[in-house]
Amino acid sequence: MVDKLGTIAFNVVATMGVMLFIWLMMGKRQLGELTALDFAVSITAGTVAGAGIADPHVELGQVLVALGLLGTVQITISWACLKYRAAYTNMSLEPTVLVEDGQIIKANLQKVHITLGTLLQLLREKEVFDITEVELAILESTGKLSVLKKAEFSPLKPIQVNVSVAANSILHPVIMEGKLQEKSLRTLGCSEAQIEALRWQYQDRLGEVFVVFMDKEHRIHVVKNSVSEKGDFLQ
């Protein structure tokens, strides 16, 4: 029994290691951004891995070889799609215009098998409740909807009214859960003396601090461990 559990544990670790490698080779994409090829490879790899773990009659070597071949096929085809535009077009869904100048294109809805109700839901998720405000709505190859509102319904940008605005202030965590993040401090231009000064300033309170943020002007914002919800938004 112990030997069988050990074998299963080894198979799980080995199989997951190969699958993780395949996922890393697919690049930094979210599940909603997978192409049809990526999805097919993922489903097949999951099936092969599951069979190898659950069925003791399936040899681990066969499972790893199958996963390796799947990864090789996926990487090769992905490379071809990046290298040749025609291959990419054939292996992925082209973006489809669903709304143009406030008019819903029924033929394209039928082409991508999306109902009118689903389209309206996707538009509402983009804060569009009036179809006449839409200049262009495109269904991307990932299944997400990109919406461009007509100019008169788009939010004003400072550049459009010749207004100067301050640069964005980016906060970097310099203390996280009681630990000083020296690398982040150096990135912000802090000297070793300033880092030591900050360490000395918080040495007796590091245990009380959940996170401390700092901007490029060295202004800080402290969040303590003791912060709790006030509940004002739920009343």
Residues 167-189: tens digit of each pLDDT: 777 888 988 887 888 888 898 88
The whole-model pTM stands at 0.56
At residue 212, the pLDDT reads 86
The CATH classification number of 96-153 equals 3.30.240.20
> In this structure, which topology does domain 172-224 adopt according to CATH?
CRO Repressor (3.30.240)
Sign, Cα dihedral of 169, 173, 174, 177: positive
Please say whether the beta carbons of 86 and 128 come within 8 A: no
For residue 31, the number of C-alpha atoms closer than 13 Å in the C-beta half-sphere is: 2
3-state DSSP: the chain helix, strand, coil percent, rounded to 5? 55, 15, 30
Positions in the chain whose pLDDT score sits under 70 = 1-4, 22-23, 25-37, 56, 81-82, 84-93, 227-235
